[in-house]
Amino acid sequence: MSEFETEMKKAMPAIGGYAISNNLSFAGRPFVLYHKGDEANNAVVFSTCIPTTTRIISTEPDILTGQLEPFRAVKTTLTGDYSNLKEAWEVTMDYMHSRNLEMLETGSMIETYMKGPGETPNPAEWVTEIYAAIK
């Protein structure tokens, strides 16, 4: 987890570059899909993703494709620097707890980057949407 931001900053441009070089049409904003997190061991497994308008088949070993199935979720919007993401996730979890909503343990957890450094250098204007799957 301590290396997440560094790794994500490498992976996001790589997947974006792949999409652009292969003339893929984007169907939305880039996002991170969290597969597994383990704070006790400082570990996280994630994918950087770009939604596309068509099914993609890749022969690149580092490019995996798939389809994200629809799911019910709690959505939280963070306006501001990515350094506030941990707090935004805590707010999301507190909201779910206060409403007796159960997180779907095998469900999707996503951060969608609606507006970021590519659109504005001012972190106060960055917008990230968090989606946490619920039962």
Q: Is the pLDDT score of 2 beyond 80?
A: no
Q: What are phi and psi of 112, to 5 degrees?
A: -105, 130
Q: What are phi and psi of 15, to 5 degrees?
A: -70, -35
pTM of the model: 0.89
* Dihedral angle, C-alpha 80, 48, 3, 72, nearest 10 °: 60
Q: pLDDT tens, 93-117?
A: 999 999 999 999 889 999 999 999 9
Q: pLDDT tens, 63-86?
A: 999 999 999 999 999 999 999 999
Mean pLDDT of the chain: 92
Instruction: Please give the DSSP secondary-structure letter assigned to residue 97.
Output: H
Six-digit token pair at 61?
A: 């070993």
List, in order, residues 6 or more apart from 61 with CB less than 8 Å away: none
